[in-house]
Amino acid sequence: MRARNLGAAGIALALAWSGAACAVIPTQGSPVPVGAAVQGDPLRKPYVRVIAMPPRPEWRPEQVVTGFLAAMASVDDPRWSVARQYLTPDAGHLWRPEAGVTVYEGQLPDAITVTPDAKEITVPLKGTVIGTIDTTGKYHATSAPDGQPLDQPFKLVKGPQGWRITEFPDGLLLNADDIRRSYRAVKLYYLDNQQKGLVVDEVRIRVDPSTDFAESIVNRLLDGATTGLKDAVHNAVPAGTTLHRVSTDDDKIIVDLNEAATNAISTGPGGGSVAAMAAQIGWTLDQLTERWDIEIRVNGEPFYPDGGTLEVGYNTYRAFDPWLVPGKTPAYYLKGGTLQMLHEDDEHVAAVPVPASTDRLGDDYDDFALSGLGPYKLAALHKDHKVISVAPLVQGAQWQQTIAGTSLLRPCWDRYDNLWTVDKLGEHSSRVLRYDGKQVVQVSAPSLEGVDVRELRVARDGVRVAAVVDGEHGTQVLVGTVVVKGSEVRISNFQPFVTAGDGEIKDIAWRDATTLLVLTGGRAGQEVRAVSVTDGTSESFKADARITSITALGDSILAGAEDAADGKREVLRWEAAKSAWVAAAKDDATYPLLPLG
């Protein structure tokens, strides 16, 4: 564990690691071994506490700035009273630390030349901004792969008590180690636009030594979704609900709410859903509870007015939304003009024919999409890109033309059996279309209407949408949210997550509701970048040079590949344990398909 090199401007780390055990300085009581502190209780975890020190009159300017940076990271000073001591009275009065967080990597100069008669001086902090945390706790990684340049000057003046900082922007300036110590990434769960599934909203929550972290999580859930999702999701926890406490009792988590929570029992206007509320709380606390059962109480009493208890077992809230932990699902591909199913055992992958609605799919259609509801439906884009047809995967089914346009893109399904595509009307002119099983409607998406859209994919939560576009900033991957208000459907709040730069964006696929796979190519070869759309962080792995398309569902990642030399096509599977692509189907196998892929 690394601490700041403060010299005279020191900080204290209140969690000291020693071999297999460590000592904790708790909020109350005496230091105890970590194992004893958390044994049998998943809600209480040790963490590092940075205890800030006030400035001293003899400190040099760079020591004062170092101490100020350290004091901003202290969670034991929630109002930053120690940090304000590093500022002049006027600067301390104007500074608003709650305005947000800038996350950086960088360093101060080792020493600043200070003449004996100097009264003012500037200490520069140079480095890289790697992200920000807004006032709702949302972390935003910088869109540039290597971050953005940081050149933050600290202006200091010398007074009777020594050097003090006279100018500093609002908000906190914390390095990556500060964030790891003082904040925790937490997934909050809200309802989708049909209030039948759950949507993940990830935030960073600052550790508060005066409050159990489980209570901090539930309180943050009650506050509602972050700005990018608030119009696209719903909260089943009734308005006015507050938390009394979160505790443990006989291997069970007790969430004690006020009486407003019982409004979830109502099914009329303004009412909610008990099952949905329980699923939201269960999934949100599952990050801490290690799959313990949860009981929701009201003012310390059983939840229901008749004395009935509301207990939420892991399997109960897990079953509320099967797409959060999807079970085994079929994988298909095209071979010899017919649809085939992939079967995998311990030693090999075999292909078995599946009844299709017509033979020779590859002769008439250019691309395909598989629905997420059984019986599965296959959507196919005609080779002229003017029509999309749909047929269920049952023997003797007939194609039905569903969407017609000028130049349609590959279709995709959402979790509610709506079919999506983009119609390219001309250069830098596109419109988003959605077929709900009865009619085709144009979806309002202003950010996509004036650019050249190349791909569109709806995530498995039914709320997030990813698009590959060519616009004034080059080729980018944008992610927005689906907002449904009555009969109106729109896609808003598009944010860039990947920019092609000197390379090429070849394909995208949702791995799960919050992870987008992006197939890129460049001088160094191809790679697949797994991007978290909740915070912009990503990791990459190599892609076979023959890969032309990808699809994914959880741990299953499939790719269509074609050899440029001989034209041979096959379906590849990513084996993470081997860090390699292996053949899943050969001999002219193409178009791998997964539900909602």
Q: What is the model's pLDDT at position 354?
A: 58
Nearest to 133 by CA among 90, 81, 176: 176
Lowest mean pLDDT across 34-38, 86-90, 110-114, 195-199: 34-38
User: What is the domain extent for residue 563?
Assistant: 331-593
What string of H, E and C letters represents the secondary structure of 32-92? Answer: EEHHHHHCCCCCCCCCCCEECCCCCCCCCHHHHHHHHHHHHCCCCCCCCHHHHCCECHHHH
| pLDDT classification of 43: cutoffs 50, 70, 90 | low
Average pLDDT rounded to a whole number, residues 278-291? 90
Count CA atoms within 13 Å of residue 499 on its CB side. Answer: 13
| pLDDT classification of 447: cutoffs 50, 70, 90 | very high
Position 338 pLDDT exceeds 60: yes
In a domain, 4, yes or no: no
Same domain membership, residue 177 and residue 206: no
In a domain, 3, yes or no: no
Q: What is the model's pLDDT at position 44?
A: 65
Same domain membership, residue 309 and residue 195: yes
In a domain, 546, yes or no: yes
The secondary structure element, H or E, covering residue 165 is strand 162-167
Same domain membership, residue 271 and residue 173: no
| pLDDT classification of 33: cutoffs 50, 70, 90 | very low
Average pLDDT rounded to a whole number, residues 74-85? 92
| pLDDT classification of 19: cutoffs 50, 70, 90 | very low
Tokens standing for 80? 């930053």
Position 147 pLDDT exceeds 90: no
d(CA 381, CA 421): 10
Number of domains in the chain: 3
- Using the 3D structure, point to which of 284, 319, 354 is the last residue of a domain: 319
Lowest mean pLDDT across 20-29, 231-240, 579-588: 20-29
Same domain membership, residue 191 and residue 167: no
Q: What is the model's pLDDT at position 461?
A: 94
Position 414 pLDDT exceeds 80: yes
Q: What is the model's pLDDT at position 14?
A: 45
d(CA 80, CA 91): 13
Position 79 pLDDT exceeds 70: yes
| pLDDT classification of 344: cutoffs 50, 70, 90 | low
Lowest mean pLDDT across 285-289, 498-502, 574-578: 498-502
Q: What is the model's pLDDT at position 584?
A: 92
In a domain, 1, yes or no: no
Tokens standing for 195? 């209030």
In a domain, 65, yes or no: yes
* Number of residues in the chain: 597
**Do 440 and 446 form a contact (C-beta atoms < 8 A)?**
no
Q: What is the model's pLDDT at position 50?
A: 73
Q: Is the dihedral of CA 514, 493, 192, 234 positive or negative?
A: positive
| pLDDT classification of 45: cutoffs 50, 70, 90 | low
What CATH number corresponds to the domain at position 434?
Answer: 2.120.10.30
One-letter amino acid for residue 322 of the chain: P
Average pLDDT rounded to a whole number, residues 429-445? 95
Average pLDDT rounded to a whole number, residues 399-428? 95
Q: What is the model's pLDDT at position 2?
A: 35
Q: What is the model's pLDDT at position 249?
A: 87
pTM of structure: 0.87
Percent of the chain with pLDDT over 90: 63
Q: What is the model's pLDDT at position 359?
A: 57
Same domain membership, residue 503 and residue 396: yes
Average pLDDT rounded to a whole number, residues 40-50? 64
Same domain membership, residue 493 and residue 365: yes
Position 466 pLDDT exceeds 80: yes
Q: What is the model's pLDDT at position 25?
A: 30
Same domain membership, residue 365 and residue 494: yes
Gap between the terminal Cα atoms of the chain: 41
Position 347 pLDDT exceeds 60: no
Average pLDDT rounded to a whole number, residues 63-70? 95
Q: What is the model's pLDDT at position 22?
A: 26
| pLDDT classification of 32: cutoffs 50, 70, 90 | very low
Same domain membership, residue 304 and residue 247: yes
Average pLDDT rounded to a whole number, residues 221-236? 94
Same domain membership, residue 166 and residue 27: yes
Q: What is the model's pLDDT at position 36?
A: 37
pLDDT, the chain, mean: 86
Collect all residues with Cβ–Cβ distance below 8 Å to 311 and sequence separation of at least 6.
252, 293, 294, 295
Q: What is the model's pLDDT at position 233?
A: 95
Position 38 pLDDT exceeds 70: no
Same domain membership, residue 194 and residue 66: no
Same domain membership, residue 416 and residue 299: no
Tokens standing for 170? 């609002």
In a domain, 275, yes or no: yes
d(CA 24, CA 31): 5
Position 555 pLDDT exceeds 80: yes
Packing angle of the helix pair 213-223, 274-289 (nearest 10 deg)? 140
Same domain membership, residue 481 and residue 465: yes
Higher pLDDT: 71 or 522? It is 71
Q: What is the model's pLDDT at position 316?
A: 84
Distances (CA, A) of 245 to 26, 38, 213, 494: 19, 18, 11, 37
Reported as a single tens digit per residue, the pLDDT across 261-273 is: 999 987 544 445 8
Position 470 pLDDT exceeds 70: yes
Tokens standing for 413? 């399904």
Average pLDDT rounded to a whole number, residues 567-588? 92
Position 139 pLDDT exceeds 90: yes
Lowest mean pLDDT across 292-301, 333-342, 568-577: 333-342
Question: 3-class SS at 152?
Answer: strand
- Using the 3D structure, point to which of 117, 149, 182 is the last residue of a domain: 182
Average pLDDT rounded to a whole number, residues 227-253? 93
Q: What is the model's pLDDT at position 424?
A: 95
Nearest to 140 by CA among 537, 539, 535: 535
Average pLDDT rounded to a whole number, residues 13-30? 31
In a domain, 55, yes or no: yes
Reported as a single tens digit per residue, the pLDDT across 484-503 is: 988 899 999 999 988 887 68
Q: What is the model's pLDDT at position 296?
A: 97
Q: What is the model's pLDDT at position 41?
A: 60
Higher pLDDT: 395 or 73? It is 73
Nearest to 188 by CA among 235, 145, 240, 254: 235
Average pLDDT rounded to a whole number, residues 545-564? 94
Residues paired with 452 in a beta bridge: 470
Q: What is the model's pLDDT at position 21?
A: 24
Q: What is the model's pLDDT at position 145?
A: 67
In a domain, 326, yes or no: no
Lowest mean pLDDT across 32-36, 166-170, 319-323, 357-361: 32-36
Lowest mean pLDDT across 12-16, 122-126, 527-531: 12-16
- Using the 3D structure, point to which of 182, 216, 238 is the last residue of a domain: 182
Position 24 pLDDT exceeds 60: no
Q: What is the model's pLDDT at position 84?
A: 96
